[in-house]
Structure formats: C-alpha cells, structure tokens
Chains A and B, each alone.
Chain A
Amino acid sequence: MEHSANYTRTAIALHWLIAIAIVGTFGVGFYMHDLPLTPFKLQIYSWHKWAGVTIFLLVLFRLVWRFTHRPPGPPVGMPAWQHVAAEFAHRLIYVLMIAIPLSGWLMSSAKGFQTVYFGVLPLPDLLAKNKELGNILSVVHTALNFTLAGLVVGHAGAAIKHHFVDRDDVLARMLPFIRKF
C-alpha cells in the first residue's frame, strides 16, 4: 500500500496522549510498589489501574486507526537495516502497550483484587486468586515495563538523531510545531 506523506492529526494526538499517559503511569507504578499500607496506597493503586485500563483502550483505538490510516514511510535514503530495526521496535512497542495493561489486570486478579474501572465498572477476573501466580505476574509486569522503558528511550533517541544528525523530517512529522525551527 502507498505511504501517505504525513500522520493524521488523530494519529499524532494519540501518539502523544498515550506517550504522556505511559510515562506518568510508569512513574506512579515505580513509586507506589513498595509504599506502606495507607489509604493513599489503596488510592494510588486504583488510579494506576484506571490509567492502565484507559491506556489499553486508547491503544486499541490507535491500532484500529493505524490499520485504517497508513502512516508515512521511512525517509528517502535511510539504510534498510534501520528500516527493519524501526519496524521491529514499533511492533514490539505496540505488543507491550497491550501486554503491559493485560499483565497488570491479570496480576491484580491473581492477588485477589478485582479491577473496578473508576470505582464503577468491575472488570471480570480472568484468573482466580493464586498467591504464587500473583507473584510471578508481578515479575512479568515489571519486566515488560522495563523492556518498554528501554525501547522508548531508544525510540526517542532515534527520533532525536533523525532530527539533528540526519536532518530529516522523521521527528517533525510527529511533532509538527518543530518544523518552524
């Protein structure tokens, strides 16, 4: 299929909205995991779970958008290996954006705490309470998160390199206001 010249406004909005939500939710998760038990801990855990469900839904919408709106292709003259690497990294980031909230949801169920979206909508428990499984899923959730964090750093680093070293429009097409500079 033909590549389009630019990302749609919706694609750009989803990219940045999800990016900010992920960085914030990751930070909250990192901060909260060894808090002592207080009402604040119960609150922040719930907020984290609600944020995770929201990100999951946004990513689903984004995937639908992506499949129905072709993104622009690689810049002319970019080495093939970079294209393959970018393609692989992007796919893995999408997989993780789905897998991370899922692993959190499953972990919560296994630990015996149902997820109730915004305190109103109870999500079904796909797993029964199981302490060992809960601990395993906690490790999985953490590992997936740090993998994503590594990929995000690489992704941002590559975008900056495209902008300042290769001097192409890879960053500018996702961040249109920097075109002026």
Chain B
Amino acid sequence: MNTFTSKIVFLIGLVALLFISNVQATEFNLVQVDKSSLSFVFKQMNVPVEGVVKSFNSQISFDPAKPTLAKAEMEIPVSSIDAGSDEANDSVVSKLWFNAKVFPVVRFVSTSIKPLGNNRFEVAGKMSIKGRTLDAKTTGTFHPEGSNGVFEGSFSLNRGDYGIGEGSWADFGTVANEVQIKFRLVASAAGKK
C-alpha cells in the first residue's frame, strides 16, 4: 500500500468514525404513538384473552451512546384500555377493577436503565395504578429502524398487587393474577443535542 492510498483509507476511516459517533449521539425523544403499540394478554378460565391500549402518552429520551442517562415515562388513560369485549371494558373502568373515576391514569416513570449488552436493557421504575405505586421492571431491546429508534419488550404484572379486580374478582381462579404486557415504542430524534 503506498502512502497516498493509506491516507485515503485513513480519511475514509475517520469520516466513518465521525459518522458513527454522530449517529450514536442521536437522542430518540419523540414517541410516535401511531407507530407504537401496547397490548396485553390475561387468562380467564385458562383462556388467553388479548387486549390493547388504544392511546397513551409517552416521553422517552434515549441516547444509545449514553443509555444509563435515558429516561422513559408513560401515561395510560384507563378509558383507553380495551380488554377484548364491550362487557369487559365496562368492567375495566368500574370500581372493582381500575376505579377510573378516582384513578383515571396508569403511570410508569423509569428510575434506572441498565445496559445488559447486545442492545438489551433493563428498565426499572415506578408503576402507579389505582393509587398504589410499586417498583416495576422490564427488559427490552433497542434497534434503529430507518431514522427511528424502536424499543420492544414484554413483562408481566400481577393485577393483585394493585388491587385490580376486587371483591369476587380478587380470587385468581377465574381471572389469573398474571397479566402479560407487550410494548413496542417507536421514537424519532426530534431535537439533536
């Protein structure tokens, strides 16, 4: 390799390095709700029933280069929870389930984000449902998709911990305690730092 070629190679390398570091400095902070989804599965009489959250608000700030500084917040109006049937949806907002009149919003606020390697992250935070705030944890993955960043993951939540389903519903024989929650959040980089 002559000196000229090696200089070119060096320059290309430098440009590539700058480009990569520039990409890594991108902070994904604008959640695109229409491209994102939040769904859940619960079991009644051992029958898996799927539900979706029709609308929610979420704020994320995630810089792949500085994941530990990332933050995530989510607010879900109880009225946007679709538990699979009209009958179930009437129950969701009722006093025994989410008591939406008194507690209209489900909220999650992250407290720490830990990289697990391989684009996997552990997100710990506080989940507030029906007046109770408890520690919650989920693992998720991050991958870029075009100019967007996609966060995907799932975790389980025990409805009993938050008093979701009281009275005759408190028994887990018909409606199971465990609810599987799946999320896919798509965020764009609205403002670069």
With most chain B CB atoms within 10 A of its CB, the pick from A37, A39, A112, A113 is A39
Q: Bound complex: CA of A46 vs CA of B175, how far in Å?
A: 12
Instruction: Using CB atoms, name the residue of chain B closest to A44.
Output: B45
Is A114 positioned at the interface, with any CB of B under 8 Å from its CB?
yes
Q: Do B46 and A120 touch across chains, with their CB atoms under 8 A apart?
A: yes
Chain A residues with CB below 8 A from B45, complex form: 42-43, 45-46, 116, 119
Instruction: Using CB atoms, name the residue of chain B closest to A112.
Output: B84
A39 partner, pick from B49, B85, B174, beta carbons under 8 A: B174
Q: Bound complex: CA of A115 vs CA of B175, how far in Å?
A: 15
CB distance from B65 to the nearest CB of A (A): 42
Chain B interface extent, by class: 10 to 19
Q: Which chain A residues (56-85) contact chain B, with CB distance < 8 Å? A: none
Q: Do B44 and A42 touch across chains, with their CB atoms under 8 A apart?
A: yes
Interface size on A, residues (CB 8 A): 17
Q: Bound complex: CA of A119 vs CA of B176, how far in Å?
A: 12
Q: Do B168 and A119 touch across chains, with their CB atoms under 8 A apart?
A: no
Q: Which chain B residues (149-193) contact chain A, with CB distance < 8 Å? A: 168-169, 171, 173-175
Is B15 positioned at the interface, with any CB of A under 8 Å from its CB?
no
CB distance from A16 to the nearest CB of B (A): 29
Q: Bound complex: CA of A43 vs CA of B174, how far in Å?
A: 7
Q: Bound complex: CA of A119 vs CA of B45, how far in Å?
A: 6
Is B37 positioned at the interface, with any CB of A under 8 Å from its CB?
no
Q: Bound complex: CA of A162 vs CA of B69, how far in Å?
A: 87
Is B13 positioned at the interface, with any CB of A under 8 Å from its CB?
no
Q: Do A39 and B48 touch across chains, with their CB atoms under 8 A apart?
A: no
Chain A residues with CB below 8 A from B173, complex form: 39
Q: Do B87 and A39 touch across chains, with their CB atoms under 8 A apart?
A: no
Q: Do A37 and B174 touch across chains, with their CB atoms under 8 A apart?
A: no
Q: Do B48 and A114 touch across chains, with their CB atoms under 8 A apart?
A: yes
Is A111 positioned at the interface, with any CB of B under 8 Å from its CB?
yes
Q: Which chain A residues (112-168) contact chain B, with CB distance < 8 Å? A: 112-116, 119-120, 122
Q: Bound complex: CA of A40 vs CA of B169, how far in Å?
A: 10
Q: Bound complex: CA of A160 vs CA of B113, how far in Å?
A: 77
CB distance from B83 to the nearest CB of A (A): 10
Q: Do B169 and A39 touch across chains, with their CB atoms under 8 A apart?
A: yes
With most chain A CB atoms within 10 A of its CB, the pick from B45, B169, B173, B175 is B45
Chain B residues with CB below 8 A from A38, complex form: 168
Chain B residues with CB below 8 A from A42, complex form: 44-45, 174-175
A114 partner, pick from B47, B88, B91, B171, beta carbons under 8 A: B47
22 contacts between A and B (CB under 8 A): A37-B88, A37-B90, A37-B91, A39-B169, A39-B171, A39-B173, A39-B174, A42-B44, A42-B174, A42-B175, A43-B45, A43-B174, A46-B45, A112-B49, A112-B84, A112-B85, A113-B49, A113-B84, A116-B46, A116-B47, A119-B45, A122-B47
